[in-house]
Structure 1
Amino acid sequence: MTMTSALSDLDIANRMADAARLAILPYFRHPDLDTQNKDAGGFDPVTAADRAGEEAMRAILGQLRPEDGILGEEFGEKPGTSGRVWVLDPIDGTRGFISGTPTWGVLIALSTDTGPVLGVIDQPYIGERFWGTGSAARMSGPHGSMTLKTRATFELSQAVVFTTFPEVGTEADCAGFQAVAAQARLARYGMDCYAYALLAAGQVDLVIEAGLNAYDIQAPIAVIQAAGGIVTDWQGGPAHNGGRAVAAANPHIHAAALDILRGF
């Protein structure tokens, strides 16, 4: 009979990230990677790697946390009985994945009704993993293991701001981002979930997005908040259900961005 494991939630999350790495990496930069489009009206790619990564993570949860629910990008929702849900995105940044750029990542969050309590952002190819739970946030990678701490930029004029797509989302979404970017020191594009990891690591100040799903943002919320940052929607409310999100290194730069974004 399958029973709940005595392993900690973070141990489970790390096992899932390890399993996803093993499942996904053989497909990365493979010349014969088969890519399908999930959006008849646009381009929303999915690959066998996306499905293999999520299947590997779900298999671990089935063994070690069978009472928990699951919400995954590729295989949808599995109800649970514990009141907790694992929110999974096996490859956040599939466009980057199929282009060969190492900006995609595996996103794992553990969530309750009020939002995520644990998050992992894993970049398998370069071997970096960022995690946060409660007030503890750390990363491991080629330079070893270290504590994550967001930086203390106060002035928007000194901020580095990221978004994934130059068009951001709707025309209003784009206008909101551009209004912030126009006052920032530097704007960069196309980093997918890795931008959130850089924010938690103290490298950038703001990530502004729109059109998100819960599985796109819950893991970054947990990591960034544990590292000392803040993530809300553009009105300052909760962002864990998706939609518009602004992630900030500290309350000061967050307030400066919200002063602009609330107008859109």
Structure 2
Amino acid sequence: MASYSDDLTLAGRLADTADAITTARFRARDLEVRSKPDRTPVTDADTAVEDAVRELLAAERPSDAVAGEERGGSSWSAGRTWVLDPIDGTKNFLRGGPVWATLIALVEDGTPVVGMVSAPLLGRRWWASLGEGAWLRDSAGERRISVSGVSSLGDAYLSTTHLNSWAEHHSRDAYLALNDACWETRAFGDFWHHCLVAEGAIDLAAEAIVNPWDVAPMQVLVTEAGGRFSDLSGAVRFDGGSALSSNGHLHDPALAILQRS
């Protein structure tokens, strides 16, 4: 198996670069904000992060492609492509909430092989590379992480997203059925609930609609932590438009509910 240790080291440097920009612009009085065509907000911090990361990648990996949320980019189906979300959770960033992160993934021939998630205001960074496990650094130090051992939906802790997004993009009934089947439901949202699945703090995270850059690092992070990641059809892909991450034991039972409702 190929080693991605150098790429993972570079991903850490990219995250450091991003954190320096985002923390400096967080709660800035002169933060510039505009709306994209889909009505989601973008700030000058988003574009500054992506530009800085692209500049570093151009110097360090000139033959690799780059695809980012704000500046676009080429397909990731062949070759090596870095997939970037400069600030995942921009609405939280704008409101002064701490739950936002920079997401970085290296995708090789369509498969994420390196993932990096850095949430500086939470004091947490998660990372993984193919065959090397999943890791977390927080106030307690650095440690390898793994998913939970919960084996029944009736004992499961689920995180999901806004009901209206399920009604529009998948099924309101599926949302309610999965909620009813689980022990406890919260909405941690964005990057965080997939990272919590990888940590074993929760057991399932489901989203009716996502963009590829929202979950590219999550696929390798969750699977390297011993879990499973797919879209809501069950296809193992980060670009299917939806996402389900689990501890593995609960994946098929959750898919069965989501697909029949």
Task: Tell me if both proteins adopt one fold, taking TM over 0.5 as the criterion.
Answer: yes
Which of the residues 32, 53, 58 maps onto 2:54? 58
SS of 2:165's equivalent? coil
- Alignment check: 8 A CA contact 2:113 2:220 kept: yes
Distance 1:188 1:124, change over 3 A: same
TM-score normalised by the chain length of structure 1: 0.91
Deviations 1:122-177 (A, max 9, x none): 10112211001123111111110011101011010111111233323444344322
1:152 matched to which residue of 2?
149
Identical columns (%): 35
CA 1:31/1:169 → structure 2, altered by over 3 Å: closer, same or farther? farther
Matched, 1:115 2:124: no
Deviations 1:16-54 (A, max 9, x none): 000000111111122332221113xx6301001111111
Native 8 Å contact 2:230 2:237 kept in 1: yes
Corresponding position: 1:104 with 2:100: yes
CA contact (8 A) 2:155 2:182 kept: yes
Count of matched residue pairs:
255
Q: Which residue of 2 aligns with 1:218?
A: 216
Contact 2:166 2:172 in 1 (8 A): yes
AA paired with 1:113? D
* CA distance in 2: counterparts of 1:233 and 1:22, whole angstroms: 33
Is the partner of 1:199 in helix, strand or coil? helix
Q: Deviations over 1:94-131 (max 9, x none)?
A: 11111222221111000022310110111011221100
Note the residue ranges of structure 1 that are not aligned, 5 or more in a row: 1-5
Could you tell me which residue of structure 2 aligns to residue 140 of structure 1?
A: 137
| Alignment-derived partner of residue 3 in structure 1 | none
What amino acid sits opposite 1:191 in the alignment? G
Equivalent residues of 1:165, 1:190 under 8 A apart: no
Q: CA RMSD in A?
A: 1.9
| Distance in 1 between residues matched to 2:57 and 2:74, nearest whole Å | 11
The answer to whether the Cα contact below 8 Å between 1:159 and 1:184 also exists between their aligned partners in 2 is yes
**Using a 3 Å threshold, how does the CA distance of structure 1 residues 61 and 219 change in structure 2: closer, same or farther?**
same
Unaligned runs of 5+ in 2: none
Shift of 1:249: 1.2
Matching of residue 166 in structure 1 with residue 160 in structure 2:
no
Matched with 1:70 is: 66
TM-score by length of 2: 0.91
User: Could you tell which deviates more after superposition, 117-126 or 183-192?
Assistant: 183-192
Q: 1:31 to 1:173 in 2, by over 3 A?
A: farther
1:94 is matched by which residue type in structure 2? Answer: T
- Answer 1 or 2: which has greater helix percent: 2
Work out the CA distance in 1 between the residues paired with 2:152 and 2:17.
41
Offset at residue 190 of structure 1 (A): 4.3
Equivalent residue number for residue 259 of structure 1? 256
Residue identity matched to 2:151? F
**Residue 208 of structure 1 contacts residue 245 of structure 1 at CA under 8 Å; is this kept in 2?**
yes
- Equivalent residue, structure 2, for 1:247: 245
Secondary structure of 1:193's counterpart equals: helix
**Aligned match of 1:124:** 120
Aligned AA (1:184)? C
